[in-house]
Amino acid sequence: MDLLLQQTVNAFALGGTYALLALGLAVVFSIMGLINFAHGELMTISGYTLMYCGIAGISFLLAVPVAIAVAMIAAVLMERIAFRPVRNSSAATMLVTSFAVSMILQVLFQNFISTRSQPVILPQVLSDSITLGGLVIGLNKIAAIVATVVMLVFLDIFMKRQKTGIAMRAAAEDFNVARLMGIRANTVIAGAFALSGMLAGVAAVLWVSQRSSVDPHMGFLPVVKAFIAAILGGLGSLRGAVAGGFLLGFIEIYLAAFLPPEMQEFREPIGLSIVVVVLLFRPNGLIPAASLKSEKV
Amino acid sequence: MKKTLLASTMVAAAALAAPAIAETLKIGLATAQTGGLAGYDGPVIEGLHIAVDEINAAGGINGNIMIELIEKDVRSDPAQTAIAVQELADEGVSVIVLPCDADPSLAAIGTVSSAQIPAISTCASSPTLPMIGGDFMFANFPGDNVQATVSAEWAWGEGHKSAYIIYSPDSQYTTMPLYFADVFTALGGEMLGEDTHSIGQQDFSAIATRIAALDPQPDVIMTSSYEPDFPSMLKALRAAGVTAQMIGSDGIDSPTTFSLGDVGEGVVFTTAGHATEGSPLAEFNAKYEAATGNPSETVFNAVGYDLVIVVAEAVKAAGGSTDPVAIRNAMAELENVRGATSLITYKGTNGMPVREVTLIRVNGGERELVGQPSPTAELIPAPRMQ
């Protein structure tokens, strides 16, 4: 029983990180129909910011908001430089553009920072753990869960109460009608990118606090996971992204925890098969986007 | 126009005639400048350049054979490696350098065997590489089975009786713990279990929770996983309350391992060398700092230097020949070549060199030399494909 509870805490922490990542993709997709594969590089940029802050002797508490802010700025710049010129092109053009941005950034990191992993100095407290009712919980797990909850609450308020948030929801439902109502396309799209940058920044801090290092390819794996989570939840739906992220986290942790040892090698294919089975029954994802209607992705 | 052509042809002919005195040894580099292996190939190639510059500045091998490098990026991709190696073979290189992992290096087997050009991997340590690769395939690093024997014997000698391994079936290298389990069992130790993970797996909490629930706890946990997996794994284990001795391998010989704070303390790993005062490695590190302006961060720099030393010795042993087959035959007979990290011997092996293995402990965020023991030959497990 204890073991199950312990693994559930693990699943919440991992699922929360996946949810943040998937949300970052979903925010942009819901408005532009773009799956931004360079989202992972925003995380890498945050990671390098943490690294440089550590080298400069800036305390981690201060480095975290700086890293998140840098990811937001980078996301807005990415939109300005790479995605605005192709905004009205086909989905395929935008997808390929995002791959190009991702690769260009990776090569820049390799050539101007280092091909090797760079250590990130983290406060000791993140490696500690506390005992809570018989459960041993790492503080970085608690940080992940708290960060996820805070971000979800913030997003909920932002989307419901803030003017930009409401405009973004309107644009997600029908961009053309939203524009006719006087909503500025540039503001909404830049806002969506800034939001996705913020989510990437928070996720990057959580990601880096586990791995303690940053390398040019750091963003690749999380963006793949986020993509799976976003599809699982329903592409373009924000609630779906959160649901998909948590479900993916639970699938991965429970398989790693409870699959018999001789089956462990096949953990990933089994996990992905479960995702496929879910999609067979819910082809538009767990919580499909409103704009999707009955159309299949 | 005709005159210019004639003139330039004559100049070219003169230029071609000149190297009859000063010969050139072409070394083709089919290594990863980008992609996942770049973090390992990059430092090796840096060290390799230092050795080439040093030899060329002294007038070349034997004072008359200049080394010319032809570099190609294989993007850490096996298919790209095969293509690059084919191109290098077409350009007539005498030696080919392959990436730091057995898997892309294996993609070059067909070409190097049929073109009969000796190939050396920068730092692949899987003993299966020269075994499968045939006569023309060489490695440049202590083998996985040898490293695992050294660490298992050390663990047993420290009085550890039980062990647990965490490995990844994704690459040859990350299955080193299976060799460790063989040796540890042969010594009389007990294996309490094993776990697998995939390379790049972010989360190790499920595995850590399972190991923390074991009763009794293992004395040692051995893994050959490297960044970013190793720090995540170690932190997850420590956060779950697992206090077993961690043993790693050369893949974690990186600055990150020494910057993990309390979590990293006491980790022991095998690697290719240690710069004690006055050692050839310390001498190399001084050269590296002079050449690049930065201190060497990793032993992989010196491993690259060693690679060129080995090639140069082979050329000398072949009587100054730049013929690939002659170099291959001479290389296979090399004995006790003094490299920056170790004495290197290929004689009597299938291409997996006999080199020293160094045990390092993380102590106060610094590297502490545990020892450079020679493994017991009978205990070294036979190479096996995973």
Confidence class of residue B5 from pLDDT cuts 50, 70 and 90?
low
The sign one gets for the Cα dihedral B27, B30, B35, B37 is: negative
Domain membership of residue A152 as a residue range: 2-114+129-216
Of B196, B213, B236, the CB nearest to A264: B196
Residue A226 in domain: no
CB contact under 8 A, B259 and A256: no
CB pairs under 8 A between A and B: 130
Distance CA A291, CA A240 (A): 13
What pLDDT does B34 receive? 84
Residue A232 in domain: no
What pLDDT does A91 receive? 87
Using the Cβ of A282 and the Cβ atoms of chain B, whether some distance falls under 8 Å is answered with no
Confidence class of residue B19 from pLDDT cuts 50, 70 and 90?
very low
Contacts of B176 by beta carbon, 8 Å cutoff, 6+ apart: B125, B144, B145, B147, B148, B167, B224, B249
- Beta pairing class for B366-371 and B358-363: antiparallel
Q: Please say if the pLDDT value at position B362 is more than 60.
A: yes
Looking at chain B, the whole-number percentage of residues with pLDDT higher than 70 is 94
Q: Which residues of B touch A216 (CB under 8 A)?
A: 38
Average pLDDT score, chain B: 91
What pLDDT does A74 receive? 98
| Full set of structural domains in chain B with CATH | 2-141+277-344 (3.40.50.2300), 144-271+358-379 (3.40.50.2300)
Q: A residues 216-275 near B, CB within 8 Å? A: 216-218, 221-222, 252-254, 256-257, 261, 264-265, 267-268
Helix (H, G, I), strand (E, B) or coil at B196: strand
CB contact under 8 A, B241 and A136: yes
Confidence class of residue A236 from pLDDT cuts 50, 70 and 90?
confident
Residue A154 in domain: yes
- Asked if B175 contacts B169 with a C-beta cutoff of 8 angstroms, the reply is yes
What pLDDT does B2 receive? 55
Contacts of B386 by beta carbon, 8 Å cutoff, 6+ apart: B169, B172, B175, B178
- Structure tokens that stand for B263 in this block: 């979590």
Distance CA A114, CA B42 (A): 9
Sheet with strand B245-248: strands edge to edge: B190-196, B162-167, B220-223, B245-248, B268-271, B358-363, B366-371
- Residue A67 distance to chain B (closest CA, Å): 20
- Residue B70 distance to chain A (closest CA, Å): 20
Determine the residue of chain B that is closest to A264 in CA distance. B196
Confidence class of residue B17 from pLDDT cuts 50, 70 and 90?
very low
CB contact under 8 A, A14 and B207: no
Distance CA A104, CA A52 (A): 21
Q: Tell me how many domains chain A contains.
A: 1
Q: Please say if the pLDDT value at position B13 is more than 60.
A: no
Residue A231 in domain: no
- Asked if A109 contacts A217 with a C-beta cutoff of 8 angstroms, the reply is no
Average pLDDT score, chain A: 91
Confidence class of residue A115 from pLDDT cuts 50, 70 and 90?
confident
Q: What pLDDT, in 10s, does the model give residues A193-235?
A: 999 999 999 999 999 998 999 999 999 999 999 999 999 999 8
Please state the rounded mean pLDDT for residues B157-174.
93
Q: Which residues of B touch A268 (CB under 8 A)?
A: 198
- Residue B161 distance to chain A (closest CA, Å): 22
- Beta pairing class for B245-248 and B220-223: parallel
Please state the rounded mean pLDDT for residues B169-185.
93
Residue A172 in domain: yes
Give the distance, in angstroms, between the CA of residue B40 and the centroid of all CA atoms in the same chain. 8
Confidence class of residue A1 from pLDDT cuts 50, 70 and 90?
low
Using the Cβ of A104 and the Cβ atoms of chain B, whether some distance falls under 8 Å is answered with no
Q: How many CB atoms lie within 10 A of CB B158?
A: 12
Please state the rounded mean pLDDT for residues A128-154.
89
Determine the residue of chain B that is closest to A104 in CA distance. B34
ipTM of the complex: 0.88
Q: Please say if the pLDDT value at position B21 is more than 90.
A: no
Residue A120 in domain: no
